């Protein structure tokens, strides 16, 4: 489909951006620069509050680095600041209507019921606005890591064995 759209617009010389859709996996192997990988993950999922179809909400890590990588993710999540979207200090903004907040909470609860460990940093939240705490679910099921198309400010993580 993307090729057909690009072919149809090529003669116009207009700039074009195509989105693949879905919730993309973010994969970290043991030879990765872990600090850079964590920054990429944070930018990918929380920059737009999880409201981008290509937000990397499924985090796959090689088993050998899973614990240290997840610790770095938790540390970085603790530095995010909630506030008005146009405030320069805000890295998380309110974005959810009430019904969406309820749906997100149900999905997080479902992940926990299926064995995921849920982690949310303890940060100060504004007294006004509809916020959902940024969340990481460790060893979450594939469906609750975003594959169902839920747009939420969170990431699910799986450990994957070394590929032979």
Positions marked active-site: 19, 53
Residues 6+ apart with CB under 8 A from 2: 18, 20
Tokens for 55?
A: 């937000």
Q: Hey, which residues does 156 pair with through a beta bridge?
A: 58, 137
* Torsion angle in degrees (nearest 10) through CA of 45, 128, 112, 110: -90
């Amino acid at each position: 489909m993307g090729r057909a759209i690009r072919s149809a617009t090529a003669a116009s010389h207009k700039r074009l951006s195509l989105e693949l859709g879905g919730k993309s996996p973010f994969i970290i192997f043991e030879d990765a620069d872990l600090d850079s990988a964590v920054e990429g993950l944070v930018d990918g999922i929380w920059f737009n509050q999880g409201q981008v179809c290509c937000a990397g909400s499924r985090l796959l890590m090689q088993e050998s680095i899973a614990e240290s990588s997840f610790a770095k993710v938790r540390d970085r999540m603790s530095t995010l600041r909630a506030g008005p979207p146009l405030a320069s200090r805000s890295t998380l903004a309110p974005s959810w209507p009430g019904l969406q907040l309820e749906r997100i909470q149900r999905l997080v609860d479902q992940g926990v019921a299926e064995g995921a460990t849920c982690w949310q940093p303890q940060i100060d939240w504004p007294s006004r606005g509809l916020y959902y705490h940024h969340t990481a679910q460790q060893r979450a099921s594939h469906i609750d890591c975003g594959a169902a198309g839920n747009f939420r400010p969170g990431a699910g993580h799986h450990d994957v064995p070394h590929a032979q």
